[in-house]
A and B are shown apart, each in its own frame.
Chain A
Amino acid sequence: MKGMKSKFWAAGIAGLLIASVGLVSNTVAAASKTTINFFTFTAVPDHMKDLQAMVAAFEKKNPTIHVNIQSASYADYWTKLKTRVAGNQTPDAFELNYENFVTYAAAGTLLDLSKESKKDKSFKKSIYYGKAYDVFNLRGKQYGVPASFSTVVLYYNKDLFKAAGVEAPKANWDWSDEASASAALKAKLPAGTYADFQPTQFWEFYKVLGQAGGSFLSADKKTALFNKQPGINALNWLVGKTVAGYTPTKAQMGTLADDAMFKAGKIAMYHSGIWLFDSFKDAPFGWDIAVEPGGVSPGNHFFANAVVASAKSKYPNASWKWAQFMTSDPAAIKIRLGANWEIPAISNKATLSSYLSKTPPANRAAVFEALKNPVTPPVIRQQNEMQDVVNAWLEKALNGSISVTEALNSAAKDVNAILAKE
Chain B
Amino acid sequence: MSLKSGQSRTAAVFIAPSLIPLVLFLILPMLAAGVLSFTTWDLLSPPTWVGFENFKALLHDANFRNALQNTLIFIAGYLPLVYILGLSAALALDRKFKGSMALRAAFFLPVITSWVIVALLWKWILNPNGGVVNSALHLFGIQGPGWWTSKSWAMISVIVPSAWKDLGWVMLILLAGLQAIPPEYKEAAAIDGASKRQILLHITLPLLTPASFFVLVISLINNFQVFDQIWIMTSGGPEGSTSVIVEQIVKNSFAYGKMGYASAMSMSLFAIIMAVTVIQIRLQKKWVNYA
Contact = CB atoms under 8 A, between A and B. Distances in A.
A250 B238 contact: yes
B44 A109 contact: yes
B257 A82 contact: yes
Where chain A touches its partner, the secondary structure class is: helix
Where chain B touches its partner, the secondary structure class is: loop
A255 interface: yes
A181 to B, nearest CB: 25
Contact of A255 (B127, B237, B239, B240): B127
A354 interface: no
A31 B124 CA distance: 56
Interface residues of B, number: 25
A385 B42 CA distance: 12
Contact of A254 (B45, B131, B251, B255): B131
A256 interface: yes
Contact of B146 (A86, A251, A384): A251
Interface string B221-232: 000000000000
B238 A395 contact: yes
Q: Which 8 A-B pairs have the closest CB atoms?
A: A254-B129, A107-B44, A251-B146, A251-B128, A86-B43, A250-B149, A385-B256, A254-B127
Contacts of B186: none
Contact of B240 (A86, A250, A253, A392): A392
Interface string B113-154: 000000000011001111100000000000000100111000
B49 interface: no
A104 B151 CA distance: 36
Given A251-B128, A392-B240, A104 B251 contact: no
Interface string B32-50: 0000000000111100000
Interface string B197-238: 000000000000000000000000000000000000000011
B185 interface: no
A353 interface: no
A255 B122 CA distance: 11
A107 B45 contact: yes
B111 to A, nearest CB: 25
B52 interface: no
Contacts of B42: 103, 107
Contacts of A172: none
A365 B42 CA distance: 42
Contact of A395 (B237, B251, B257, B258): B237
Counting chain B CB atoms within 10 Å of each CB, which of A109, A251, A392, A396 scores highest? A251
Nearest to A418: B256
A395 B45 contact: no
A85 B42 CA distance: 10
B279 to A, nearest CB: 34
Contacts of A85: 43-44
Contact of A86 (B44, B127, B258): B44
B53 to A, nearest CB: 12
Given A385-B256, A392-B240, A253 B129 contact: yes
Contact of B254 (A79, A104, A250, A401): A79
Contact of A83 (B43, B149, B239): B43
A222 B256 CA distance: 19
A388 interface: yes
Nearest to A421: B40
Nearest to B41: A86
A122 interface: no
7 contacts: A78-B255, A86-B43, A252-B128, A255-B129, A395-B239, A399-B239, A401-B239
